[in-house]
Amino acid sequence: MSTPQHTPQQRIRFQLAWNRLLSVVEEQAQVLIRSAFGTATREAGDLSAGVFLPDGRMIAQAVTGTPGHVNAMAESVKHFLKVFPPDTLRDGDVLLTNDPWKGTGHLFDMTMVSPVFHDGALVALFASTLHVIDIGGIGSSADGLEVYHEGLFLPILRFFHQHKVDPGVLAIIRANVREPEQVEGDLYALVACNDIGGRRLKSLLTEFQLADLEQLGGYIVEQSAQAMRQAIAEWPHGTWHNTLVIDGYDAPITLQASVTVQAGKILVDFDGTSPSVTRGINVVKAYTDAYTSFGIRCLIGADVPNNAGSLSLVEVSAPEGSILNARFPAAVTARHIIGQMLPDVVFGALRQARADQVPAEGASSLWNLHLVGGEPLAGATQEQQHALLAGRRFNATSFSTGGTGARPGKDGLSVTSYPSGVRNVSLEILESANPLVFEKKEYRQDSGGPGVVRGGLGQTIVVRHADPQAGMIIAAAFDRVVHPARGALGGQAGAGGRLELGSGAALRAKGRQLIPAGERLVVHTPGGGGLGDPAQRADASIERDVRYGLVSAEQAEDAYGRAAPSP
């Protein structure tokens, strides 16, 4: 493909317009954060926002957002255009879906696309995604056997017809969710953020005297592709393999990958991965593509803009029917459990090419505490059901995290949501909106895997219902319990996670379970793996860790072979 020649003046002008375009999509994301009703968007930043050419190619995305949303949304717009071709769209139309296979992987994510017209012509599409608090069905749980159990499924449809909401669509949504006001508010927030993006884009086109985005967009996409090709050329070429075994729902899951780096392209093949299961931990291909490409881009081309140009050079394949390419109507609610492990899978392969640039495995998938009250639970006794229904209805999600793997030359990050990038929701907000009391939230000592550089620490969380006479339900969707994050290059594994009651009774890592009235939920999130032989860790680093309480005197002696410093 030949690249059009541009004068220095044109390139400068394109760069100025490109910078403005980035500010447009970032404002789009900030409007979504400020107007959203749900805490997942408003507090944690669980969203995406971007602008697309009329043919569906993403040219710019907001920095604010998660890889699972942004990279999956990059492909979803093409599905919208198949249902509603450009010549059928009108100014003021707004399209909507939560189809996991054509959106971002599960029913909780609403993806909205709004066409932008300038001087009567379609010039762009703005898209955005957020996670709603409820979508009906069994709620946020991995217990579903198929997607029909998991909530309301909206095919790609028109939500607005030329600036007017479709009352039928809105009524169907409100009738099928437990929190209709919050969900409706989030939908209007999506409408507002796309609208502000469109208005800002039209101002940009007028200011730069552009009739459309075709020339600018084409330049951005090609320059990004060229920069990615250069980044690929700096890596050794070859094929490397890696296998990662994780807990699964009730049996271990094997994730098998081969990563090939060749001239101008990276191929990732998940052949050999476990088949899909009859529980809600399956992953749709779009979500697999999203986190796989993100993992690759963390190492190769990390500074290259993320758009259709750079993304097109990472090709991902997974056997149809595998847990990474689940067929409809597989259950997919907790697809993040496995999808967010995929950067670790490709890291393990690429470490064989460049060991000096690849971190160890981390906790990776989020340990979100999804707590609900005022709902019945199958299998609970009559007395327990009475306690569950005694408390007022609430639906709370606390975005909780473990530790990342140790990095080349640096310890892992403690209690950090990598690779998702979402923020924790403050306890004050959770307690003010729900009848919850968080009694403890602290670093989990000794949870980081020992090494020359140590894995990041997990955390310990203790939470209870504010009413001692009321019970609640934990919808658990956790991993890295049986199979913790592995160390590398001689580093040791991080600590596995654990879920239990304050009385000491163990809870399952997945599924809806009872927290009886008067009990406390105790959560220990996993730590990241270490890098390098622990015996080579600097004395000063060990002394600091013991002094700060990150490492106990016992671990300093057992894992590092050093006596703890005197107090």
pLDDT single digits (tens) 209-243: 999 999 999 999 999 999 999 999 999 999 999 99
484-513 tens-digit pLDDT:
999 999 999 999 999 999 999 999 999 999
Instruction: Tell me the backbone φ, ψ of residue 202, rounded to 5 degrees.
Output: -65, -35
Query: Nearest to residue 443, comparing CAs of 432, 462, 457, 429?
Result: 457
CA atoms within 13 A on the CB side of 177: 25
d(CA 29, CA 22): 11
Residues 6+ apart with CB under 8 A from 23: 200
pLDDT at residue 5, as a whole number? 73
For 318-409, strand residue ranges (E) read 369-373, 394-398
Query: Nearest to residue 114, comparing CAs of 162, 79, 184, 168?
Result: 162
pLDDT at residue 2, as a whole number? 46
Residue 504 located in a structural domain: yes
For the cut 90, the answer to whether the pLDDT of residue 285 exceeds it is: yes
**Confidence class for position 1, pLDDT limits 50, 70, 90:** very low
Domain boundary among 224, 248, 269: 224
**Confidence class for position 79, pLDDT limits 50, 70, 90:** very high
Distances (CA, A) of 555 to 234, 268, 450, 549: 40, 38, 9, 11
Across the chain, what does the average pLDDT equal? 95
Residue 196 located in a structural domain: yes
For the cut 80, the answer to whether the pLDDT of residue 202 exceeds it is: yes
20-29 tens-digit pLDDT:
999 999 999 9
For the cut 70, the answer to whether the pLDDT of residue 565 exceeds it is: no
pLDDT at residue 4, as a whole number? 61
153-177 tens-digit pLDDT:
999 999 999 999 999 999 999 999 9
Query: Nearest to residue 131, comparing CAs of 182, 178, 80, 74?
Result: 182
Residue 255 located in a structural domain: no
Q: Could you tell me if 16 and 164 lie in one domain?
A: yes
Residue 3 located in a structural domain: no
Taking the CB of residue 548, how many other CB atoms lie within 10 A of it?
10
pLDDT at residue 3, as a whole number? 52
378-399 tens-digit pLDDT:
889 999 999 998 878 999 999 9
329-354 tens-digit pLDDT:
999 999 999 999 999 999 999 999 99
* Mode of pairing for the β-strands spanning 520-524 and 58-61: unpaired
Look at residue 312 and give its three-state secondary structure: coil
d(CA 410, CA 454): 8
Over residues 466-489, mean pLDDT: 97
For the cut 70, the answer to whether the pLDDT of residue 567 exceeds it is: no
Residue 563 located in a structural domain: no
Residue 292 located in a structural domain: no
| Domains contained in the chain, number | 2
Q: Could you tell me if 363 and 220 lie in one domain?
A: no
Domain boundary among 159, 194, 224: 224
Helix 8-35 / helix 180-207 crossing angle, nearest 10 deg: 160
Domain boundary among 196, 224, 252: 224
pLDDT at residue 566, as a whole number? 57
pLDDT at residue 242, as a whole number? 98
Total-model pTM:
0.95
User: What percent of the chain shows pLDDT beyond 70?
Assistant: 99
For the cut 80, the answer to whether the pLDDT of residue 264 exceeds it is: yes
**Confidence class for position 369, pLDDT limits 50, 70, 90:** very high
Q: What is the secondary structure of 344-362 as a DSSP string?
A: HHHHHHHTTT-GGG-PPP-
Residue 444 located in a structural domain: yes
Residues in the chain: 567
Domain containing 485 equals: 359-536
Residue 279 located in a structural domain: no
Over residues 196-200, mean pLDDT: 98
